[in-house]
A and B are shown apart, each in its own frame.
Chain A
Amino acid sequence: DAGITQSPRHKVTETGTPVTLRCHQTENHRYMYWYRQDPGHGLRLIHYSYGVKDTDKGEVSDGYSVSRSKTEDFLLTLESATSSQTSVYFCAIMGGRGYEQYFGPGTRLTVT
């Protein structure tokens, strides 16, 4: 258990509303990631962070922004949610003995 929690675990929102998902870790890991999982696509990287205030884009970053103001929290924001952003969102950290990723429990987001 890498001490990763995600909130909320489930959310239903309407098209056009802003949404923020939170990832919290307790073990001071430097690298944190946000992925989305959709049928037929596996997990795709949205954004990742390599330190406080240091972030970079992944392969599906359009429509998403992130922030990391402290080591333990990595926030994913959908500025104006669309139905295509209905998905399961996973947060991960890189840690353990080296370069292993560990995942949080996921957040199921439905945009109606």
Chain B
Amino acid sequence: GIQVEQSPPDLILQEGANSTLRCNFSDSVNNLQWFHQNPWGQLINLFYIPSGTKQNGRLSATTVATERYSLLYISSSQTTDSGVYFCAVESTSGTYKYIFGTGTRLKVLA
């Protein structure tokens, strides 16, 4: 089945710094999402982005489907950005099963 790898696994930033999180996938995908899991365990949708670029405030994402990767950019990080960021993909099998990466754990220091 499709493999999803996220990097880096862990990231520590000073408040105000910028960062780039990467998601590589091993096969073509129909759908791709980015999630943030906050320290209370809640999973929050960030982007639905099977291709192209989207921006939402300080966050933006780019997916290059032909090269099988997606990037999540966090600018001017805040302590509330701390948590785990997951990438999830649905292959072109048409089954609507999403496969998750193991996540990037981000800690933003005040």
A→B interface (CB under 8 Å): 31, 33, 35, 40-45, 48, 50, 56, 58-59, 88, 90, 94, 96-103, 105-106
Set A40, A41, A56, A101: member contacting B88, Cβ < 8 A: A101
Distance of A88 Cα from B40 Cα, bound (Å): 12
Distance of A36 Cα from B48 Cα, bound (Å): 22
Render B46-75 as a binary contact track against A, CB cut-off 8 A, 1 for contact.
001000000000000000000000000000
B→A interface (CB under 8 Å): 1, 30-31, 33, 35, 41-43, 45, 48, 86, 88, 90, 95-103
Contact assessment for B96 and A42 in the assembled complex, using a CB-CB cutoff below 8 Å: no
Known: A42-B86, A45-B99, A103-B35. 18 other contacts (CB 8 A): A31-B96, A35-B100, A41-B102, A42-B101, A42-B103, A43-B100, A45-B97, A48-B96, A48-B97, A90-B43, A98-B31, A99-B90, A100-B48, A101-B98, A103-B42, A105-B41, A106-B41, A106-B42
Set B1, B31, B41, B101: member contacting A99, Cβ < 8 A: B31
Contact assessment for A45 and B48 in the assembled complex, using a CB-CB cutoff below 8 Å: no
A and B contact pairs by CB, cutoff 8 A, 20 listed: A31-B96, A41-B102, A42-B101, A42-B103, A43-B100, A44-B100, A45-B97, A45-B98, A45-B99, A48-B96, A48-B97, A58-B97, A59-B99, A90-B43, A94-B96, A99-B30, A100-B33, A100-B45, A102-B45, A105-B41
Distance of A106 Cα from B52 Cα, bound (Å): 31
Which 6 A-B residue pairs are closest in the complex by CB-CB distance? A103-B43, A42-B102, A42-B100, A43-B100, A99-B31, A100-B48
Which single residue of chain A is at the shortest CB-CB distance from B86? A42
Distance of A42 Cα from B88 Cα, bound (Å): 10
Distance of A28 Cα from B95 Cα, bound (Å): 19
Contact assessment for B86 and A105 in the assembled complex, using a CB-CB cutoff below 8 Å: no
Distance of A33 Cα from B95 Cα, bound (Å): 12
Set A43, A58, A99: member contacting B48, Cβ < 8 A: A99
